[in-house]
């Protein structure tokens, strides 16, 4: 039995400490994911909170088949998509903030950020999960409901496109 399974069982019984542990474990990763997709830290925090609210509302129906993180990423993706649909805005992704970012790295960071923005949406989604969130390929396949070969193709395509975008100096 994994730790998440035990946490979920305790949360279902109303254990406040288990809820706190669960949120502390996953909040930073989900916030980072939402920030990449929303672009605004304040709205990303709202989307992260909405993600956890949706998770806890569906806790009784939740079936633990693997990692709870996968389910949270699916909810976060849907929450971010809902946000964009409601606001009818094109996503303006940004890389997660790093407090100790040196000035000489800022230009490189901006180049990478712009390169990610240029990726086609379906490739960008996989690239964000793989390169920025450091998720495993099989977990990405489960999260997005696509086959592992398609995930591998999209990662390869993202590498090619990013190398081209960053190599051209655009």
157, 124 contact by CB (below 8 A): no
33-61 burial by CB neighbour count: b if 16+ within 10 A, else e?
bbbbbbbeeebbeebbbbbbebbeeeeee
- How many other C-beta atoms can be found within 10 angstroms of the C-beta atom of residue 22? 22
How far is 140 from 129, CA to CA, in rounded Å? 7
Q: Is pLDDT of 168 > 80?
A: no
Does position 112 have pLDDT exceeding 90, yes or no?
Answer: no
Crossing angle of the two packed helices 137-144 and 148-167, in degrees rounded to 10: 110
pLDDT 10s digits, 13-63: 988 999 999 999 999 999 988 888 887 888 889 999 999 999 999 888 888
Across the range 107-122, mean pLDDT stands at 78
pLDDT at 102 over 70: no
CA angle 67, 69, 75 (to 5 degrees): 120
Cβ-contact 79, 50 below 8 angstroms: yes
Whole-number pLDDT of residue 88: 54
Q: According to the model, what pLDDT value does residue 1 have?
A: 52
Show the domains of the chain with their CATH numbers: 1-94 (1.10.1740.10), 98-170 (1.10.10.10)
- DSSP-derived letter for residue 96 is P
d(CA 99, CA 103): 11
Please give the model's pTM, rounded to 2 decimal places: 0.61
**Cα 116 to Cα 118: distance, rounded to the nearest angstrom:** 5
């Amino acid at each position: 039995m994994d730790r998440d399974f035990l946490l979920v069982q305790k949360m279902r019984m109303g254990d406040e400490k288990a809820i706190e542990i669960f949120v502390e474990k996953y909040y930073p990763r989900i916030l980072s994911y939402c920030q990449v997709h929303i672009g605004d830290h304040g709205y990303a925090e709202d989307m992260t909170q909405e993600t956890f609210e949706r998770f806890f509302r569906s806790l009784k129906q939740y079936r633990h088949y693997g990692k709870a993180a996968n389910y949270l990423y699916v909810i976060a993706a849907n929450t971010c998509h809902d946000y964009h649909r409601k606001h009818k805005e094109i996503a303006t992704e940004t890389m997660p903030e790093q407090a100790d970012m040196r000035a000489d790295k800022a230009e490189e960071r901006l180049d990478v950020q712009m390169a990610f923005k240029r990726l086609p949406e379906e490739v960008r989604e996989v690239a964000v999960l793989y390169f920025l969130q450091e998720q495993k390929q099989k977990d990405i396949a489960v999260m997005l409901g696509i086959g592992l070969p398609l995930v591998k193709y999209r990662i390869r395509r993202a590498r090619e496109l990013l190398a081209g975008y960053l190599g051209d100096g655009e």
